[in-house]
Structure 1
Amino acid sequence: MTTTETAHSDKLSVPALTALVVGSMVGAGVFTLPQRFAAETGVVGAVIAWAIAGAGMLTLAFVFQSLAVRKPLLDNGVYVYASTGFGKYPGFLSAIGYWASSCAGNAFYWVLITSTLSPLIPAFGDGNTVSAILVSSVFVWGFYLLILRGVKEAAGLNAIITAAKIIPLLLFVVVTIFAFKPDVFIANLSGGASAGGTSLFEQVKGTMLVTVFVFLGIEGASVYSRYARKRKDVGRATVLGFVSVLALFATVSIISYGILPQDELATLRQPSVGSVLEAVVGPWGAWFISAGLIIAVLGAYLAWSLMAAEVLFAAAKDKDLPQFLAKTTKKDVPGNALLLSTLFIQLLLILVYFASGALDFMLDLTAALSLVPFVLVAGYALKIAIERDGYAGVPQRTRTRELVVASIAVVYTLFLVFAAGTQFLLLSCILLAPATLLYAIARREQSGKLFTTPGWVVFIVVLIGAIAGGVGLATGFVSI
């Protein structure tokens, strides 16, 4: 086999890239949807929420698709698009925000999986006991060693896990279709008591962070762009993965309204998909879904760990993070970046011990941290469409379509920032401000200017947000 053939065989195909996208999104989040939605809204609000989230996230999928074509030399899109479009420091914030979001999501996964096992192992409690944290830590470091064996091997394992974990969800859909109760569904149309009598707008707004959480991973193929056989495969995998997952998520959440009254759905134990199935078929349904949840967590954890390390690696390779994070192993794995990610996940697991409402908090924090990277990616797509950057020889009709799509994506991501609320924005700043020290070290290594004038403005805003967040924590305005 020639060198060229060997290099080609090491690349990921469209199905493999699509599996990474699906594997990244179909994680623990989908198993929490019935309870999370019912706690906020009824059927009408859920339909509107999925319409907004679906349309908004689809525009983001198209944004990643168009950027892969217009900017084929830019790898690791989530980070590098922000850096190229808006400067080194905003790019750094995007990289750190996305990385921290991935790590927080992984910490959430282990809390949920141990709490799911608590009926079998009572010592696990709600996933934040000493026993649960110790067991989770063992698996965290076990996955670290697995990924060190090589990205390609880990990606192949993820494809197998992705196929396996879809089965319980498909069974759930089939069983609930046959058990569907039209009268219960109709009674759940409005927000009801569980929504607290709030307006439909507020009900829909309350679901936005959980929809962001379950869609995290839509950027998966873009993150792995340097492993794709063809650049156009990145866009294809992103859209294929998104459409499949959207249909699954919307079905799982909405069909549950035809099984139990909303007030009961809103108080179900997580994973609520298992509780809904248990109401139809008995206790074995809950255990079957719990098994699916465990598989989903393992697959999503694997994919998110890879993505987190890749972002740090890319930022260091572009000299926006310290150079020790740019080192790779003989297997082409960014070892130091992976180690730092694993250490941060371990720290979050320890902090979970002291947190109240750890599951919901980690879920919402994970989603909130991803918002700045998404806003910047959408903004970059809009910028190049306006400036005609990368559109040489492209028909005007195509540029106009991509301009409209990017504009919608910008509006949608800014709405998500609004929906996240002040608390999570301030908490994000508390993380980003001290993390800027890594950026300063990198700039010193390169003997470069610390900030441009816009960079100083952005840093001051982040610093003020961090100070306000610290004061909020001290006064109780911001809580963990």
Structure 2
Amino acid sequence: MDSVEKQSLQGNKLNLIRLIGIVIGSTIGGGVFSISGDMAANGANTGAVLIGWSVCGIGMLGLTMCFYGLSLRKKELTGGIFSYAKEGFGTYIGFNSAWGYWISVLLCNVSYATLLFSAIGYFIPAFGQGNNLLSIVCASLVIWTMHFLVLKGVKEAASVNLVIALGKLVPILIFVVALVAFRSFDFSIFKENFWGQTGGMPLMEQIKATMYTTVWAFIGIEGAVAISGRAEKNTDVAKATVGGFLGILLIYLLVSILSMGVMTTPELAALKNPPLAYILESVVGKWGAAVINIGVIVSLAGSTLGYTIIAGELPYVAAQNGVFNKAFKKQNRNNSPVNALLLTNGIIQLFLIITYLNESTYQIFYTLSASMVLIPYLLSAAYYLKLVITNETFENSSKSEKTNNFIVALLGTLYSLWLIYSGGLEYMLITAILYIPGTIVYTKSRKENGNIIFEKWWEKLTFIIILAFAVISLVLISNGTIQPF
């Protein structure tokens, strides 16, 4: 990065409070309002849900601590997930990590936009389930409004996001207080079908069924890491990440446990979106559903803004590192990555059109989003494990400190592998199709910078594997074996 580019970044530095706002704003989106119904709809009973959250809590803590450790021990790597994978495993692997994370964020915003107008449909039935023509037109307006807001400046957009992030916690607090005040938690309902009916879905399959929902609920926890180059202090990135994770986990546990004491699993599975609205409605009446739906609208608006900030930053950082085209390094007078934002929201617009043409629901896009983020998560955790094993940055650490960090890194890596296993082969095949266009971008940018395309033999092997998976996926889609939408 030249001196002019470095100087241009100074006007958009984010303090700890704004970073926490990014974490909360990007993580608490539609997931908290739908997790109870989504898990039940996937066949998970009470026991499986509790085990699923336990696995998620421990595993995500490991991943979060990996991000925490990397942000402290590799302060010079301000590109977040991209930088970690590149430093650990080479430029092409790093690019794919950035590309996969970027596409995941794009798909998050598509899912958020669909769910947003599904929530508005509670008040205005013409919006339906958020995927009809009216919804898609209005969702497009929201996306481009966020686009122009971020163009006004990342710091200014982050300040607005902070206010919305605090506002989205209000309806969740009302939900918890209302269920406690009305003594609506019924332990007999909570324990009914705790392990499911005899002959039903096996427990392990139920636990695996919670995976995408729990991952979806925590996508964005690394938001501060993703834009660490904008932080006033690098240590604030670590504080925002860990503090945000612990607070959000507590919220998810309260919502899930309380919901399972109000309705049975079949009842939760049958609820319309967002399920939390109808759970509260069953306790306090119509006003409860109205409050939650307003909360969903505010929450999703904030998350859309938070992810617009993150998604615009990713191609910008990748361009600075020479793996995205130089055009994406361009900033406007407000220090916002103008071309990166245009590309990002243009692709989101395309996916919104696909949503309308295929009548896709928000669950489809968040499942694809969760699938895309798994590889970037794995590469980040694996890089931290590599640092511990090779003793890099740990030369002056005590034996106990090294042991603790090894456990954290191993936990984060194993949890990432568990997520990939739980997701199944079908979605890994589908995501390969989304990775292939990335290699075209990578190839063009490498030639643009006068570099060879693949530096190491394992980079060529990685490309061959991705291409093979993509071809297999296209064949299976064409004969109807798998259906991405």
- TM-score normalised by structure 2 residue count: 0.95
**Preserved contact between residue 117 and residue 139 of structure 2 (Cα < 8 Å):** yes
Counterpart CA distance in 1 for 2:63 and 2:75 is: 17
What's the counterpart of residue 238 of structure 1? Answer: 241
Tell me whether 1:375 sits opposite 2:378 in the alignment: yes
Counterpart CA distance in 1 for 2:228 and 2:122 is: 42
Matches within 5 A, 1:268-283: 268-283=271-286
What's the counterpart of residue 103 of structure 1? Answer: 106
Q: 1:160 aligns with which of 136, 146, 163?
A: 163
What's the counterpart of residue 24 of structure 1? Answer: 26
Alignment-mate amino acid for residue 220 of structure 1:
G
The 10-residue stretch of structure 1 (260-269 or 350-359) with the greater mean CA deviation from structure 2: 350-359
Measured after TM superposition, the shift of residue 77 of structure 1 is 1.0
Alignment-mate amino acid for residue 461 of structure 1:
I
Q: Secondary structure of 1:478's partner?
A: coil
Tell me whether 1:416 sits opposite 2:457 in the alignment: no
What's the counterpart of residue 466 of structure 2? Answer: 462
Q: Secondary structure of 1:370's partner?
A: helix
* CA offsets 1:321-364 (integer angstroms, 9 cap, x no match): 11111111121111111111100110000000132552221110
Q: 1:297 aligns with which of 300, 303, 308?
A: 300
Counterpart CA distance in 2 for 1:376 and 1:7 is: 27
Counterpart CA distance in 2 for 1:144 and 1:7 is: 19
Q: Secondary structure of 1:353's partner?
A: helix
**Preserved contact between residue 127 and residue 134 of structure 2 (Cα < 8 Å):** yes
Counterpart CA distance in 1 for 2:322 and 2:92 is: 12
**Preserved contact between residue 9 and residue 335 of structure 2 (Cα < 8 Å):** no
Alignment-mate amino acid for residue 33 of structure 1:
I
Unaligned 5+ residue runs, structure 1?
1-5
Matches within 5 A, 1:4-403: 11-39=13-41, 40-177=43-180, 178-192=183-197, 197-403=200-406
The 10-residue stretch of structure 1 (425-434 or 391-400) with the greater mean CA deviation from structure 2: 391-400
**Preserved contact between residue 37 and residue 253 of structure 1 (Cα < 8 Å):** no
Measured after TM superposition, the shift of residue 395 of structure 1 is 2.2
**Preserved contact between residue 116 and residue 301 of structure 2 (Cα < 8 Å):** no
Counterpart CA distance in 2 for 1:359 and 1:226 is: 31
What's the counterpart of residue 474 of structure 1? Answer: 478
Measured after TM superposition, the shift of residue 138 of structure 1 is 1.0
Q: 1:137 to 1:8 in 2, by over 3 A?
A: closer
Counterpart CA distance in 1 for 2:285 and 2:106 is: 35
**Preserved contact between residue 25 and residue 300 of structure 1 (Cα < 8 Å):** yes
**Preserved contact between residue 41 and residue 192 of structure 1 (Cα < 8 Å):** no
Alignment-mate amino acid for residue 414 of structure 1:
L
Counterpart CA distance in 2 for 1:197 and 1:405 is: 35
Counterpart CA distance in 2 for 1:448 and 1:242 is: 39
Counterpart CA distance in 2 for 1:476 and 1:457 is: 29
**Preserved contact between residue 120 and residue 297 of structure 2 (Cα < 8 Å):** no
Q: Secondary structure of 2:358's partner?
A: coil
The 10-residue stretch of structure 1 (320-329 or 390-399) with the greater mean CA deviation from structure 2: 390-399
Measured after TM superposition, the shift of residue 9 of structure 1 is 8.6
Measured after TM superposition, the shift of residue 228 of structure 1 is 2.1
CA RMSD of aligned residues (A): 1.6
The 10-residue stretch of structure 1 (387-396 or 305-314) with the greater mean CA deviation from structure 2: 387-396
Counterpart CA distance in 1 for 2:393 and 2:95 is: 23
Counterpart CA distance in 2 for 1:459 and 1:334 is: 29
**Preserved contact between residue 92 and residue 439 of structure 1 (Cα < 8 Å):** yes
Alignment-mate amino acid for residue 39 of structure 2:
F
* CA offsets 1:130-154 (integer angstroms, 9 cap, x no match): 1111111111111111110000000
**Preserved contact between residue 132 and residue 359 of structure 2 (Cα < 8 Å):** no
Measured after TM superposition, the shift of residue 10 of structure 1 is 5.4
Counterpart CA distance in 1 for 2:431 and 2:14 is: 34
% identical aligned pairs: 36
The 10-residue stretch of structure 1 (393-402 or 453-462) with the greater mean CA deviation from structure 2: 393-402
* CA offsets 1:340-392 (integer angstroms, 9 cap, x no match): 11001100000001325522211101111100100100110011111111223
Counterpart CA distance in 2 for 1:145 and 1:109 is: 18
Counterpart CA distance in 1 for 2:458 and 2:112 is: 37
The 10-residue stretch of structure 1 (10-19 or 83-92) with the greater mean CA deviation from structure 2: 10-19
**Preserved contact between residue 76 and residue 310 of structure 1 (Cα < 8 Å):** no
What's the counterpart of residue 450 of structure 1? Answer: 453
Q: Secondary structure of 2:232's partner?
A: coil
Alignment-mate amino acid for residue 301 of structure 2:
L
What's the counterpart of residue 3 of structure 1? Answer: none
Measured after TM superposition, the shift of residue 22 of structure 1 is 1.2
**Preserved contact between residue 109 and residue 297 of structure 1 (Cα < 8 Å):** yes
**Preserved contact between residue 12 and residue 154 of structure 2 (Cα < 8 Å):** no
Q: How many residues align?
A: 473
* CA offsets 1:264-285 (integer angstroms, 9 cap, x no match): 1111001000010011111111
**Preserved contact between residue 131 and residue 359 of structure 2 (Cα < 8 Å):** no
Measured after TM superposition, the shift of residue 78 of structure 1 is 1.1
**Preserved contact between residue 13 and residue 229 of structure 1 (Cα < 8 Å):** yes
Unaligned 5+ residue runs, structure 2?
1-7
Alignment-mate amino acid for residue 114 of structure 1:
F
Alignment-mate amino acid for residue 13 of structure 1:
N
Measured after TM superposition, the shift of residue 477 of structure 1 is 1.5
The 10-residue stretch of structure 1 (179-188 or 437-446) with the greater mean CA deviation from structure 2: 179-188
Counterpart CA distance in 1 for 2:138 and 2:40 is: 31
* CA offsets 1:175-204 (integer angstroms, 9 cap, x no match): 1222111221121422348xx811111101
**Preserved contact between residue 62 and residue 408 of structure 2 (Cα < 8 Å):** yes
Measured after TM superposition, the shift of residue 300 of structure 1 is 0.7
Q: 1:186 to 1:231 in 2, by over 3 A?
A: same
**Preserved contact between residue 378 and residue 409 of structure 1 (Cα < 8 Å):** yes
Measured after TM superposition, the shift of residue 121 of structure 1 is 2.6
Measured after TM superposition, the shift of residue 8 of structure 1 is 8.1
Q: Secondary structure of 1:21's partner?
A: helix
Counterpart CA distance in 2 for 1:354 and 1:418 is: 31
Measured after TM superposition, the shift of residue 69 of structure 1 is 1.2
